[in-house]
Structure formats: C-alpha cells, structure tokens
Structure 1
Amino acid sequence: MKFINIICYKDNRSIVEQSDFFVKQDYPENFGFYSKSSHTGRTVMLSEFITVMDNAPGFNDKEILKKIFVEDNLLKKESISGRKISFYYLKHLYGLDSENKNFQGLLKYWKEKSPDNKIMALLCALSRDEALRLSSGYILSVKAGDSADKSGLKEIVDNYYQNIYSEKVRESMVRNLMSSWTQAGYLEGRSNKIRIIPEISVYSFAYACYLAYLSGFRGKRIFHSPWVLVLCLSNLEIKEFIKESNRKGLMSVKKAGSVVEITFPEDLIGGTQ
C-alpha cells in the first residue's frame, strides 16, 4: 500500500511527498527489529517505559531486570500478575536488551528527563511493532490541525489483519494505535483527535538516522527514510540537525560532491556491517 504523505511543518506550510513509507516487510531481527505487534492488547505504554529508562540500573541482566519489575515493583502495580504483564509487553515493545543494536542506540542517545524522550521511545517501538509502523503513513498524512479519523486507521488495520484477527481485536488495535500516537505527541484530544506536530531534538534525529542505517539505508537516503520522515522535519531543520549531530559527535556526515557518507560511533555500528 502506498501513501501520499502530507508533511506539515511548524510554520503551517505543508508539502506533499510520495513514498512507500513503512510497508509490510521483514526487518533485521538480529539487530533487535521485530515484525509482530503488541497493539492487539496494549498501547506503547510510554509513561511506563520512560519510568523504566530513567530508573533501571541497566539492561544487560534479564533476571535483575525482571526482579525490578516483579519484586521491586518499579511501576507500582498492585498485583504480581500486573507486574509480569507490564514486563512482558514492555520487553516485547522495546526489547529492553543492551545486546540489541536498536536498543543500544536508544541508550546512547537517551537523555534523562528530556521532554523529547517520548519521540525516542516511539522510534524504538516503531522498530519493534509492525502495526505501529503500518499506521504511521495514515497518521502523517493528516494535516496539522485536522482531525485524525478512526476510519482511516481502521482501513489500514483491516487491509493487513482482516484474515488474522477478529473484528473485535482489530477495533481494539485501532483504539490502541490512536492512543499510542497521542501519547507520542502526534495527536491531541479525547474523542476528537487533532493532528499536531511534535517537538524534535537532535538526539531523536540521530537515533532515527541510526535506525535507518540498521534497516539498510545508506548515504543521503537515510534522511529520506521512513524513520526520519516520522519526525516531520523541514529540509532546513534536517540541515541544522546534521550540523548539530556532527558537532556533538552523535554521527558523522561527510560530503564529497554528490556522495554523502554517514557513520555512527564505533560502539554502535561494530558488528553491523
């Protein structure tokens, strides 16, 4: 399925770009990508995930991490079953494993208490959740200030999952997806969801470029990949973020004529070639 994507900038201008955006395809699971979906039963659970990121001592020991959820009750859940379910879904959505390349990038660029962290979390969830990826084309096609209609999202869910899930489950997926995009700062409102443009930092930009690199994009194609398009940036903003990324050492962008070479810190790209 192809989308005509209307990308609305912060100054209320809009341009129309055509791309495949995220399509149903396999992504490199050896780097931590995933092609199933948690949205049959949960949203992206951003507040819970940010609590984990800001308070967990590390992500290299699965048993210690599970203890933090279940015994220490980091998320303040009343029941043991609720703690275990939260751990299951958050691990499914985000990986929570420092051995996964996509999660390594998140840990590298994450800044504690940053208001931009929900965008970082969304990018990580996009790398792990197929339904969230497939829904992005519709959400981003809605012009800033316009309503995001559930029927538009339902058409996508039905198109991909009609032969997999029941009508009841698909309706639940639509509700959960709308909630996820609201939590991430792309929609606002309760019953009437209005499209808004999120604020983006250079760290989210660098992480989006890194995910594009992991999924096979190279050179300047990285800046036109679905991972970066999700950020709704103008060409000017992209140019400024490229400069800032270079200054901060988040990634290296070198140009030689029409050739653009993009590399990332060695601790991130080691073993990805």
Structure 2
Amino acid sequence: MKLSGGGAHQSKTMMFRELEALIGTGASTPEEFRSAAIDENAIGKATSNTRRLTFRHLASLYGLVDQPPLTKALMRTWKGDIQGRRLRALLVALARDPLLRETAPVVMTGSVGQSLQRPLFEEAFVAAFPERFSEKMLRSLAQNCASSWTQSGHLKGAVKKLRQRVTPTPTTVALAALIATASGFGGPAILSSGWMMVLDLSPEQALDALRRAEAIGLARVRSAGDVTEISVRQPMATALGVPELEYV
C-alpha cells in the first residue's frame, strides 16, 4: 500500500471505463497492457500522446506494470465477478493513491441522500496538507476524486453529487479484508476497519459477507464464543493462483 506521495488523482480520475476496456482485451503482462493501450488504442484516446499519458496514469494507479499481488488479485477476480468490478477497482485505487484516501472520510460520513459538493473535498486536502496545493490544484483534485467516488457508485449526479449506498459482492469484501490484513488489521478489527466502511458494511454485515466469500473459497472464518478468526491470505492465494498473496 502506498502511504505517501501523490497519485493519479492529481490529473486523472480512477478511469474505470479505460481500465475495464484495457483488461477486457485479455492483456495480462505489462507489455500486453502497454501495447493494447498505446498501439491498439483499447482505451479510446484520440492521439498517441494522450494514450501514453493515460496509460501511465492507469499503470501508476493500478500497478499494471509492476503488478504487485493486489493488482494480480484484481485481475484474477475480474471475469468471475462482473458486478463487483467497480468497487474492487476503487479499493485498489484507494490502496495505491494516498490523495484519494484523504477524501474517504468525506464520503463515509455522508448520509444517504446528502449532497457532497466540491468544497468538502477541498477542505479535506487543506486539513491534511496545509499550503501544499494551489487553489487550482485543489479544485482539480476535488473534482477528480468526486468523479471517482461517482464511478464507484458512492455518489450519483453529474453536478450535484448525492451520497448513495453501495452493495459489495462477497469477492469484493474478501479483497477489502485482504487489504485490511495487509494494513495491519486482524480478527474482528478487520470487520470494523475503514476498508469495510468504504463498502458501506457494518461489522455484522462484513462478517456475513465473508462467510459467503468462504463458500467460494476466498476466505476462512472461524468463531468460538467471543473469538473470531478471519483468514483471507491463504484462501485467496490458493483460489486465485497468486502465491504471493500469502505474504502481503
């Protein structure tokens, strides 16, 4: 997980449409992704320069070139769970872009139907990074992040952004548990972590979703009295064929 520095949201959004088109080509290696984006123009950009720039941001945000275990997990779950693609892409973007993560509390504390406009996102950046960004950059960052939260389904509306609930799939919840585990959470703390809050899940709902993930081989949940053990590293490593996931 990237803990510092900038990210794609300084100039782009989570670019879900482009990501979906790129993975949809069947590309899997860095070279295949680069060729599909730039040579074949799978991302639908008008000029070679724009294609190169867009691919650079996609590669940075989703790890398409270095392909860490989290990226491999995203790609291995892509075909099998179409419904959860947007939220899983968001989870990876949040894990890899600290700037997008700074806006999560704005969205998570918003009640369903509440209007969440650009100034709220700008205020989050000012509080986290005093005097770091110009007014122009703050506006761009806020707009890009709000767009990403719209693409993920947390917000709706082209101009007036309204909060709405998302409904994650069991596969998506397993990925959130994996990121939570990699972030240092364990046991019941996984269920109340910010990664489950991003999916609009209470601890009880998260536990139920992980039990359903267990049924498809992506998690292991054991409860005895007040003790709850949750494991996703080994089950996901085995089920997805990504051995490195055991060590994230």
Shift, 1:241, TM fit: 0.9
Q: Distance in 2 between matches of 1:97 and 1:246?
A: 30
Tell me the alpha carbon deviations over residues 169-196 of structure 1, each in whole angstroms, 9 at most, x when there is no partner: 1111111111111111111112211111
**Compared CA separation, residues 207 and 98, structure 1 to 2 (3 A):** farther
Correspondence for 2:10 among 29, 32, 40: 40
The correspondence of residues 49-64 of structure 1 with structure 2, limited to 5 A, is 49-59=19-29, 62-64=30-32
The correspondence of residues 231-270 of structure 1 with structure 2, limited to 5 A, is 231-264=199-232, 265=235, 266=237, 267-270=243-246
Q: Which runs of 5+ in 1 are unaligned?
A: 1-26
In the superposition, the TM-score normalised over structure 1's length comes to 0.81
Correspondence for 2:127 among 152, 155, 159: 159
| Farther off after superposition, 103-112 or 220-229 | 103-112
1:271 match: 247
The correspondence of residues 1-273 of structure 1 with structure 2, limited to 5 A, is 27=1, 35-59=5-29, 62-97=30-65, 99-111=67-79, 114-264=82-232, 265=235, 266=237, 267-272=243-248
Aligned amino acid, residue 104 of structure 1: K
Q: Is the 8 A contact 2:8 2:60 kept in 1?
A: yes
Q: Distance in 2 between matches of 1:160 and 1:245?
A: 35
**Compared CA separation, residues 79 and 112, structure 1 to 2 (3 A):** farther
State the identity as a percent: 28
Q: Is the 8 A contact 2:113 2:164 kept in 1?
A: yes
Aligned amino acid, residue 36 of structure 1: G
Tell me the alpha carbon deviations over residues 26-77 of structure 1, each in whole angstroms, 9 at most, x when there is no partner: x4x5xxx764222111111111111122223213xx2332122111211122
Q: Is the 8 A contact 1:213 1:222 kept in 2?
A: yes
Q: Distance in 2 between matches of 1:270 and 1:199?
A: 27
Aligned amino acid, residue 219 of structure 2: M
Shift, 1:112, TM fit: 5.3
Shift, 1:162, TM fit: 3.7
Q: Is the 8 A contact 1:186 1:197 kept in 2?
A: yes
Q: Is the 8 A contact 1:149 1:193 kept in 2?
A: yes
Query: In angstroms, what is the RMSD of aligned CA positions?
Result: 2.0
Runs of 4 or more off by more than 6 Å in structure 1? none
1:14 match: none
| Farther off after superposition, 135-144 or 158-167 | 158-167
- Structure that is richer in helix per residue: 2
| Farther off after superposition, 90-99 or 124-133 | 90-99
1:6 match: none
Q: Distance in 1 between matches of 2:41 and 2:179?
A: 31
